[in-house]
Amino acid sequence: MLLYEALKEYVVYLGIEKKVSDETLRAYQADVEQFLDFLTEKTDEEPELGNIDYIAVKSFMVDMVKNGYSRRTVSRKLAAIRSFFFFCRRHGLTDRNPTVGIHAPRTGRDLPVFASKQAIERMMEIPDRSNKKGVRDRAVLELLYGTGMRLSEIRSCNVGSCDFRAGTVKVIGKRDKERILPLTGKSAESLKSYIRDVHAAPETAFRDRARYLDYFRDRLDTPLFLGRKRNRISKRTIQRIVKKYLMQVANLSRVSPHVLRHSFATHLLDEGADLRAVQELLGHVNLSTTQIYTHVTTEKLKAVYKKAHPRAGDGGS
């Protein structure tokens, strides 16, 4: 089988069977396409899938390093290529996997970027709640920080996802996994204000679930956050909202909705939250993914110790 035919089948597999997000699907497709383009350029023709060997994969990795790609990027692209060949062999498209025995370059794991509690408090006060745009922006910020949702999760929320009486919001995470998150305090208040302004819901609709369902009736699948033409809000708009306000209160190396998710997790652990509870809230499959936040709090404690303890000195870290 030719390479690009196999790639088409792989993309369908990722989207339909693995149910990966559109963003992940595009990333994997682009990484594998780059490798296939590299092979095609070297031979001036599209090679057969079964003719690709260990040396071809290694040559691609060396070429990426020469062109200035970071170790982390090279590792990610190798993971995509490995996944592609695993699929091809498993489905009988080839009888070998040329990535076997190839190791990704060693990379250190970056600590999550997060904002301080004080910065978050200041950020929440900036949106002008005298107009609908400000009410929307405040609700987006409060919900991202108050629940730890991913960008894709807040965007996919519908009106029916909220249960104000129970104090919960239902989200659909990676691979269509559903989880229930707390919707209380400032995030609930801000979201109610937004729903009153934009969806014209009366205050009585929030008193119990039955009234809420009765008010929206056949509109429960209406997007919670609306765009200009009352369609679902775009990812770019949410990114712009976070960037606009977060940049005013914090000088961070990265500014994105994920920073609020990182801040949510870090602040919970700072206050003594159980690691496994935070894992559930974030929707992480593996506890090791959540444990990165313990490194953040450990570094913070070490910094406080070195600054405050009279015997800390400069001799250790």
Which pTM value belongs to this model? 0.69
Active-site choice (77, 150, 192, 262): 150
Are residues 265 and 144 part of one domain?
Answer: yes
- Where residue 41 sits, what CATH number does that domain have? 1.10.150
- Active site includes 177? no
Structural domain contains residue 168: yes
137 domain-assigned: yes
* Domain count along the chain: 2
- 219 an active-site residue? no
For 38, the domain range is 3-90
**Residues 69, 177: one domain?**
no
Query: Which of these is catalytic: 96, 209, 235, 258?
Result: 258
192, 261, 262, 267: the active-site residue: 261
Residue 317 has pLDDT above 60, yes or no: no
- Whether 103 sits among the annotated catalytic residues: the reply is no
Task: Establish whether 117 is a catalytic residue.
Answer: no
Provide, rounded to the nearest whole percent, the portion of the chain with pLDDT above 70: 91
258 catalytic residue (yes or no): yes
Give residue 188's pLDDT: 96
Report pLDDT digits (tens) over 198-243: 999 999 999 999 999 999 999 999 999 999 888 999 999 999 999 9
Alpha helices, H only, the chain? 3-16, 22-43, 54-66, 71-90, 117-124, 132-147, 151-156, 185-198, 209-216, 235-246, 257-270, 275-282, 287-290, 292-308
pLDDT at 248: 96
309 a catalytic residue: no
104 located within any domain: no
Q: Which residues contact 52 (CB under 8 A, 6 or more apart)?
A: 3, 39, 94, 98
Question: Which candidate in 76, 174, 196, 243 is catalytic?
Answer: 174
**Residue 74 shares a structural domain with residue 164:** no
Q: Which of 28, 212, 245, 293 is catalytic?
A: 293
- Mean pLDDT check: name the lowest of 118-132, 151-165, 250-264, 281-295: 281-295
